[in-house]
Chains A and B, each alone.
Chain A
């Protein structure tokens, strides 16, 4: 309890210091819990240790300021530029806070590793390569659209040929995605699923409990009843 209180005090002191700069990678925002400030004993500790705080009320009055500073996990350029300011702040901290800070710096959390420079570069390179590699010419786009319309109009009735859209985008998981959006009015009658096939048909069977251990069976299914016209 005492330890967690110190952490929040550390954050609040940081916020009220005039040279405050966001130190995003070192302070995980999930640990900040402002409810604890209203604990009577920790209030006293705060008043003793940090005389520059006018009252605990002012620090809790702007929680948004602190949250803003410690939210997010992007390495900002200001971190590097304000190393000197950071050192000045560190000197004012207690030993225990410095120990925690040193630990977090030496063994960074998973969030920092995911934003290492190599990974950022790899992501950027992937996007650039995909967008460079698939530059489809305009006439190819027209031909793709007309071929797809011709292939689909055998099975469905297309709403209007002008509304067909071709989009090329890059997705990080799949890669280059070329999508054609075709608005459809209805399916052609010879390919429609007729209702007689569906009458009495059971579909979507899902066994929640197959009864091997409990002795009962729990099943959900869909059952089609045609409208009696």
Chain B
């Protein structure tokens, strides 16, 4: 646990970026992780804090939403990277068979040579199909099919379950997290993606169309047996909430009745980072959305939830000049 930096250095905002410097090769068994944590007596400022993994490994999480365009792929990419920076090994699977976007968001589109369809056909090994990110070696990407090929009609729920089982029993050890990026809609692609999953993260925005679809998806997930559903509310604009033009996160939670994993504010950095292929959470200094994604990833690891707070409203002026008609 020797570190060159004095213990007065702050805390959470710096530690993710310092981690690769301080602990380049980190064996990630639970015992090692416990030994690396500072004893609570010595310092009031705890740096190098890592979340404690709850639940059995590997944790298979499907990121779904129902409605398209609410930010599923962005959430998968950013939370996957945050988890990898915490030190967990993550495999992100883009379960959209026809139109894949996760490789674009991670900036790895040039390096995808083999996909899961070729693994199933026997043309290559599984570890050849996994693309490892150079910026963050704990994250690996798996795409289902090549975009130019004919739509593989044979890729169904059983195939994806086979892939996840193969990941679980691979010789280099199972990953800590398997994140499955679900396609939009509730048809065959959705059913395929949720088949191997044990938990779900539902991404939604505070508008009425997304909430209706999210409610429908919740019903379908519970039918399928996935009880552990947590919600991330994306693209939140607090200025509109204060002006009572957008539903607040409290309203959303009340309507859907799901536990809240995170609230991500609307940030133009999302578009910029997508265009560059450099995910949002790697930005230094971190943006608001990046911090929110990292906190959501923390809560995902510890299986924790948050409670929404009410945005302060304008105090209503009582009619002192009430003869004006106020």
Contacts from A to B (Cβ < 8 Å): 3-4, 7, 27-28, 31, 100, 103-104, 107, 109-110, 113, 116-119, 121-122, 124-126, 128-129, 132-133
Question: When the two chains form the complex, which single residue of B212, B241, B247 contacts A122, counting CB atoms closer than 8 Å?
Answer: B247
Residues of A within 8 A of B321 (CB): 103
Residues of B within 8 A of A28 (CB): 325
User: What are 5 inter-chain pairs, A to B, with CB distance below 8 A?
Assistant: A7-B325, A104-B325, A109-B325, A129-B212, A132-B215
| Cα(A124)–Cα(B211), bound, Å | 11
B207 at the binding interface (Cβ < 8 Å)? yes
Report B210 CB to chain A, min CB distance, Å. 10
Query: Does B247 lie within 8 Å of A107, measured CB to CB?
Result: no
Residues of B within 8 A of A119 (CB): 244
| Cα(A1)–Cα(B116), bound, Å | 82
Question: When the two chains form the complex, which single residue of B212, B216, B245, B324 contacts A125, counting CB atoms closer than 8 Å?
Answer: B212
B148 at the binding interface (Cβ < 8 Å)? no
- Contacts A100-B325, A107-B326, A117-B245; is A126 near B316 (CB within 8 Å)? no
What sequence of 0s and 1s flags, for each residue 202-239 of chain B, a beta carbon within 8 Å of any chain A beta carbon? Answer: 00000110011001100100000000000000000000
**What would 19 more interface pairs be, CB under 8 Å, given A116-B245, A118-B244, A119-B244?**
A7-B325, A28-B325, A31-B325, A100-B325, A103-B324, A104-B324, A107-B317, A109-B325, A113-B316, A117-B246, A118-B241, A118-B245, A118-B246, A118-B251, A121-B246, A122-B255, A124-B208, A128-B212, A129-B215
| Cα(A116)–Cα(B247), bound, Å | 10
Query: Does A121 lie within 8 Å of B324, measured CB to CB?
Result: no
Query: Does B251 lie within 8 Å of A122, measured CB to CB?
Result: yes
| Cα(A103)–Cα(B322), bound, Å | 10
Residues of B within 8 A of A27 (CB): 325
| Cα(A117)–Cα(B245), bound, Å | 5
Closest residue on chain A to residue B317 by CB atoms: A107
B248 at the binding interface (Cβ < 8 Å)? yes
Report A15 CB to chain B, min CB distance, Å. 17
Residues of B within 8 A of A109 (CB): 325-326
| Cα(A132)–Cα(B220), bound, Å | 13
Report A85 CB to chain B, min CB distance, Å. 22
9 closest cross-chain pairs (CB), A and B: A116-B244, A117-B245, A118-B244, A107-B317, A100-B324, A125-B208, A121-B208, A118-B247, A103-B324
Report A172 CB to chain B, min CB distance, Å. 13
| Cα(A69)–Cα(B255), bound, Å | 36
Query: Does B215 lie within 8 Å of A133, measured CB to CB?
Result: yes
Report A92 CB to chain B, min CB distance, Å. 20
